[in-house]
Amino acid sequence: MLSRISIPVVRAAMEKPLSSNAFLQFVPKDMSARRRIEFMAGRICAARSLREMGVGAEFPLPVKDRLPVWPSDVLGSISHCATMAVAMTARKTRYCALGIDVEPLIAPNVALEIQQCICCNEELIGMEKHMPCQVRSLTLLFSAKEALYKALFPLVGQFKDFHAAELCEFDVGSVVLRLTHDWNACWRVGTKIRVRYAWLGLVVVSVVCIPANLWRK
Ligand SMILES: CC(C)(COP(=O)(O)OP(=O)(O)OC[C@H]1O[C@@H](n2cnc3c(N)ncnc32)[C@H](O)[C@@H]1OP(=O)(O)O)[C@@H](O)C(=O)NCCC(=O)NCCS
């Protein structure tokens, strides 16, 4: 189940006076104003997705090691940027890993600075046929790799940099990433994972959903 909300809508709701503001009681006190709004927007999306699945959960979800704690039979992933938040949830009986990422188009000067950290030249060249704009390609690769990381991190429990996976196929609507080394004993070098994506204006949304039957213990 996928849910999306616009950040300005959440900001307007959170700027209501304290007495009539249903949200403020739930927001952690130690967050900046911007972080609070994005955090709450992500949690609203998560709550909506769970409700649509018919799953009851505490609002906002508890946090452990910076990750939301989902109801026991559910997987989920949250992402937010300055303009929107998204969340995705599914039953563990159907999927073993979910990851979602939203990423605004990277500014050209920033793209130049971070390109080498995100990918090799060959990966960008591989995308040129379908996406001639390198900044778009880089934004998509960045987002796809973050979605992959968010899907696998709960299973692997280790930080992985952006060269831990590389582009091996690129199509309109999806890319395939290949692990460049073993992420753990289950997620081995060479494993290919499809990442679906869609551009919503200048923001790309990337999604990884790995079916439960691919789960290797
Ligand atoms: C963890 C990370 C992917 C989050 O991405 P981001 O663009 O900064 O933030 P997003 O808005 O997309 O996601 C944040 C949400 O993801 C969740 N999250 C945080 N850390 C996470 C992790 N390690 N794994 C999965 N989900 C995570 C949380 O729900 C968080 O939102 P909340 O704190 O408001 O609940 C990023 O900070 C990071 O560390 N990236 C480097 C590692 C990487 O991507 N490697 C690529 C390997 S190929």
pLDDT score, position 18? 60
How far apart, in whole angstroms, are the C-alpha atoms of residue 127 and residue 116? 16
pLDDT score, position 24? 67
pLDDT score, position 26? 72
Ligand 1, closest atom to CA 151?
A: 25
Chunk the chain into consecutive blocks of 10 residues (it has 217) and report each block's average pLDDT, rounded to whole numbers.
92 72 71 90 95 91 91 97 96 97 97 96 88 93 98 96 96 95 96 97 97 73
Q: How far is the CA of 79 from the centre of ligand 1 (A)?
A: 7
Q: How far is the CA of 131 from the centre of ligand 1 (A)?
A: 26
- Delineate the domains of the chain, giving CATH numbers in brackets: 2-73+84-92 (no CATH), 100-214 (3.90.470)
pLDDT score, position 17? 66
- Closest by alpha carbon to 27, among 17, 16, 41, 8? 41
CA 168 to chain centre: 20
b (16+ CB within 10 A) / e for 169-202: ebeeeebbbebeeebeeebeeebebbbebeeeee
Residues facing 88 on adjacent strands: 2, 77
How far apart, in whole angstroms, are the C-alpha atoms of residue 182 and residue 187? 6
Helical spans, DSSP H, in 62-175: 108-118, 121-127, 134-156
Q: At 170, which amino acid appears?
A: F
Ligand 1 residue neighbourhood (C-beta within 6 Å): 39, 42, 66-68, 78-80, 101, 145-146, 148-150, 153, 160-162, 164-165
